[in-house]
Each structure stands twice: as C-alpha cells, then as structure tokens.
Chains A and B, each alone.
Chain A
Amino acid sequence: MNGSRTASLTVAWRFASLRVEGFPWIPALILGVIALLAVFADVVAPYNPEVGVLGDRFRPPAWQAGGSEAHLLGTDHVGRDVLSRLIFGARVSMVVGFTAVIVAGLLGTTLGILSGYLGGWVDQVIMRVTDTWLALPALTFAIFLAAVVGPSMWNIVIILAAVYWTRYARVIRGEVLSLRERDFVRLAIVAGCSKKTIMRRHILPNVLNSAIVLGTLMLGVVIVTEAALSFLGVGVPPPKPAWGLMLADGKKGLMAGYWWLTVLPGVCIMLMVLSANLLGDWLRVKLDPQLRQL
C-alpha cells in the first residue's frame, strides 16, 4: 500500500511541477472535448445511436442539398443519425483506448520490473516470451485472438492489452537494469530491504514516468488497432457505435459518393490519434529526457 502511495505522490508532484511552457493546448483541448462528449453522450447526442428510421436513409449533412437541420451530419444506411453515432463512438474509443493502455501498462511494467530487477532465469523467460510476442505482427495477432475469444467490447480491451504489453516490458526492463546499479538501490539492499520492498518503493516510482509517456504514445496505436479490428468485423460488435464499425458501414455508401459516412468517422479517429501523439511527444520531452531519442 505504502509503495503505491509513494508512487502516486511522485506522479502528482511531477505533474504539478511541469512547466506550462510549450504545452500543446490544441491537442489537449481536442482530447478534453472528446472525453466530455464521451462522458455526457446521453445528454449531448440528439438521437439514439443504435436505432434508425429506414425512411431517412443516406440523408446528407445539413449544409448539402437534401440535408436538413434534423440530422446535422446526415444519416447512415439504416437511417441512424451520424452525429449521435460519432458522439457515442467517442465513448467506445475512450473506454477501450484508456483501459487497454492501462491494463497493458500494468502488466508490462510489472513484468519489466521483475525481469530487470530479479535477472537470472526470470529475466530469461520473460524476455524470450517478449521477443516471441514482438515477432507476431500486432494486428494479425489481435485478429487471431479475436477469432479465438469472440468479439465483444471487453474482449477487445483484453486482446489489445495482451498484444501491446510487450512494448512496456522492453522499455521498463531497460530502465530497471540501469536503476539497479544506482546508489540508492544499493543502499536499500545494505539497509536490509526485501526485494519486494525495493521493487515497489524504490524502482517503481522511478519508472513511472516512462510508463506514462509510453502509455500516452500507445493510446494512438491502440485506438487505430481497435478501429481496424472493428472495421474487419472482429472488434466491437454492431450495432454499437464504434468509429471503425462506422467506417465499415460507410463502405456501403462509398461508391454512391456518400462521403460523410467515410470521411467523418475517420476525421474523429485522426483527431484523437494526432492529439494523443502530440501530447505524448510533449510529455516525453518534459518527463523523460532519456526517452527523447525514441
């Protein structure tokens, strides 16, 4: 318990001491707006995202000929309101993205610390598994897992975490290897701290920065992978509104030139991923000088 409190205090202190200079305001704002929309989707969205009116199929956005104020961003192939689906889609992307990144981070960081600090056969086993895992093409592996466990929103979270934990394990292990040789760790050993205590109270707080930076950068990767899985039909199952799923549905109107069904969900994915990447880049420079080269 003590360890995690030290850890969370360290994080809070580091964030408080960040200088605002160079802060990527626009990306942060975009992510903030998407997060708010996701939280208040029930209030903000004008229609039920999963129910359409078949008589209102393929209505263009309001500003185009044939569009109306009733559906600002038009409707899809079964007459569902695109704006409402985009807003609820933000919820899916946010929930899947953040939980997957956090679960993968917890798993990868724990294994990375164990591997780096304990060394020996533990290190050998974890690193060989990590190497093999990295040899599997991420998307193909995720598709395989989805085929094995079946599609559902929470299965996607588990799949993404299972695919991406290795990225954390690699980086964190490298950091622990150098931390292990530092004086404060040696002194802790001399003072008679147990291995468990050292890993929790001395190593963990020092690798948290890297884990947070990696997590922010992974957010974009995870969201794109989720969209790809949903697009292929092994991600979030319909009729739930996920952006990747909307793109798959949008293909039905693509050749007829119903551009809004293809362009709009993609713009949402792009905005979210770009923002996460820009924020991650900034955090990397601020929090972790060692990672600047990445």
Chain B
Amino acid sequence: MKRFIVKRLGYSLLSLLLLTLIIFLLVRLTGDPSVLLVEPGASKEDLVAIRAQLGLDRPLWVQYGQFMSSLLRGDFGHSFYYRTPVFELYLSRLPYSLALALAAMAFSLLVGIPSGILAAVYVNRWWDSAGKIFALLGLSLPSFWVGLVMILFFSVYLGWLPSSGSGTALHIVMPAFALGWYFAAAHMRLTRSSMLEVLGSEYVKLARLKGLPEKFVIAKHAFKNALIPVLTLAGINLVIMVNVAVVVETVFAWPGVGRLLFEGISFRDFPVVQATVLIGGTMIVIVNFFVDILYAVIDPRIRYER
C-alpha cells in the first residue's frame, strides 16, 4: 500500500509539473508572450522595458524556473484589471463557485439517484425508457442554453425568479439547475448500471431467497452498495463543477470563478486566465490522486496492477 501511494504521488507530481510546463510553453511558443503578459495599450518602449523586467529575453529554462518559483510561493501575478494579486481574487470568488456547485450537486443527486434506481428496478420498462430519454437530453443539451431558456420562461414570462446576480436563495435556483442538469443525467446513468450490477449479485439473490420483500431487498441490501460508486463520482464531479461553470456563471452573472475567467477573457486580463486554468488543473490532479488511493483501499487488487 505504501509503495502504491508513493507511486501515485509521483505520478501526480509529474502531472502537476507537466501541467505547468504545458501552460508555460503554450504561452511562449505560440507568439510573443509580452503581448499577453504586458498590459494592453503599452507603448513600444514600455514593452521592451517590461520584457527585460519580466526576464522574457532570458533562456526558456531560466524563465521556467522563475515561473515555477513564483507559483510555489502562491504568486500567480497581478490582474491588469483589478490591480490585485490574482490568487486573492480567485479565493474571493471561490465561495460563490462552491455554493453553486453544492446546490447543483444536491439537485443532480436528488434527481439522478431516484430516477436511476427506478430505471434499474423496472429495467426495460416504461421508467427505464423515460430515464434513457432524460439521460440523452441531459447529455445533449448545452447547459448555457438550458439557462437562457429558463430565464426566458421563469424570469421574463412568469417573473418568478431573478434573472441574474446573487444575494438571495432564489438567485441560485436557476444556475444550479442549469449546471446540475448534465450531471443529473450522468448520475442517473451510473446509478442505473451500478444498481443493475448489485441486483444481479449473489447476496441479493440470497436476500430474495430468504423471502425478504422486494422493497426491503432494494432499500436495505442493494441501494447501499450501489451508492458507493455514485458518491465517488459525485465527489469528483463537485470539483469539476467548479471548473466547468464558466458558461452558466456568465449567463446568470454569478460571481464565481467561472465568471472571473470570463472577465479575464473580456478584459484581456491574461494573468487571470492563466491562473484559473492552472488552479483548476491542480485541483483535478489532487482529486484524482485521492480517488486512486480510495479505490486502492476499497479494492486491494488495484494495488498490484502493473
């Protein structure tokens, strides 16, 4: 187990190193980085001066060393627009992103798990077909369009919900639905297949042979075990939600990390864009590491793989 953890940790660190290297090189190899890293509207003389100041005239590996040492100190540069350290800016937006992600997650689980169970229990019957259509729609409709149509319906026509911004509990309803929509379909699919697997297992057969009522078998024996993979996926998805909410946050003017990224693009505020990608990637590498370890704890066979 120790060896497994060390190996996984090595892989994760390597991934983080590659992540920074990829971001670093993409900025420098696709054009003149000073155009991106220096504030828009700077004069030619300013550009030359700042290029020297940022060390852009030095060899690449020296530049990378500098880049890494500032990253490790939590220094992601200054925002051109807000004139504050990007990392502080990111942290100030993170609570909003987390609130939105949690609400979206709650919605996706409340819809996904019950419908997945129904689809598995009534496999190949009406509930299952309805579930399939729901999953297909969930995976095919762009979340931002769902959001826009909801604004049209609930804010413009009915006037029930605020169309944008944050503040009250009502503000989070539509963004959470638009963001959770896709994930509800994903959670439904996994619940269904996981439930089907458990329902076909020996111990469920035994429980049935004992003469337990079907309701009891499903609720007590099958449900609990079928839930493990779903909750694991939900944990990963929570982190993913924080990072894919850009479009939904833009539609609803929700002041989270995604909105920060959008402002970064609109104001040509490159340090903000770079930091958002780097921090998002780092979060996912860390989550993947913990999931790998968790799986190895649950299923010892994984530890001896390769």
Contacts and interface: CB of A to CB of B under 8 A. Distances in A.
Interface of A: 128-129, 131-133, 135-141, 143-149, 220, 224, 227-228, 231-234, 247, 250-251, 254-257, 259, 262-263, 266, 269-270, 273-274, 277-278
Given A128-B14, A140-B280, A232-B247, A254 B139 contact: no
Contacts of A149: 30-31
Contact of B15 (A131, A247, A251): A131
Nearest to A162: B26
B170 interface: no
Given A228-B247, A274-B136, A277-B140, A262 B15 contact: no
A136 B224 CA distance: 32
B108 interface: no
Q: Is the interface of B mostly helix, strand, loop or mixed?
A: helix
Interface stretch (B79-87, B118-126, B270-278): B270-278
A262 B277 contact: no
A232 B261 CA distance: 10
A278 B15 CA distance: 35
Contact of A254 (B19, B151, B265): B151
A266 B277 contact: no
User: Would you list the 9 A-B pairs with minimal beta carbon distance, nearest first?
Assistant: A266-B145, A137-B243, A132-B18, A144-B277, A273-B140, A135-B284, A274-B140, A132-B15, A136-B281
Contacts of B246: 139-140, 143, 228, 232
Contact of A262 (B18, B23, B152, B270): B152
Nearest to A265: B145
B152 A234 contact: no
Given A129-B18, A269-B142, A274-B140, A137 B281 contact: yes
B290 interface: no
Contacts of A140: 243-244, 246, 261, 276-277, 280
Contacts of A270: 140-142, 145
B144 interface: yes
B18 A257 contact: no
A49 B28 CA distance: 37
B244 A224 contact: no
A141 B280 CA distance: 9
B289 to A, nearest CB: 10
Interface of B: 11, 14-15, 18-19, 22-23, 26-27, 30-31, 36, 136-137, 139-142, 144-145, 148-149, 151-152, 155-157, 163, 240, 243-244, 246-247, 250-251, 261-262, 264-266, 270, 273-274, 276-277, 280-281, 284-285, 288
A149 B27 CA distance: 9
Contacts of A135: 15, 19, 281, 284-285, 288
Q: What does DSSP make chain A's interface, helix, strand, loop or mixed?
A: helix
B152 A263 contact: yes
B281 to A, nearest CB: 5
Contacts of B262: 232
A249 B27 CA distance: 30
B27 A148 contact: yes
Nearest to B268: A147
Contacts of B163: 254-255
B63 to A, nearest CB: 16
A192 B152 CA distance: 67
A238 B139 CA distance: 28
A179 to B, nearest CB: 19
A254 B149 CA distance: 9
A64 B198 CA distance: 54
A128 B141 contact: no
B277 A136 contact: yes
Contacts of B139: 277
Contacts of B264: 147
Given A136-B277, A255-B156, 5 more contacts: A136-B280, A143-B277, A148-B30, A231-B247, A232-B262
Nearest to B141: A270
Most buried by A among B36, B142, B280, B285: B142
Contacts of B19: 132, 135-136
Contacts of A277: 136, 139-140
Nearest to A250: B148
A147 B142 contact: no
Contacts of A256: 156
Nearest to B286: A135
Contacts of B15: 128, 131-132, 135
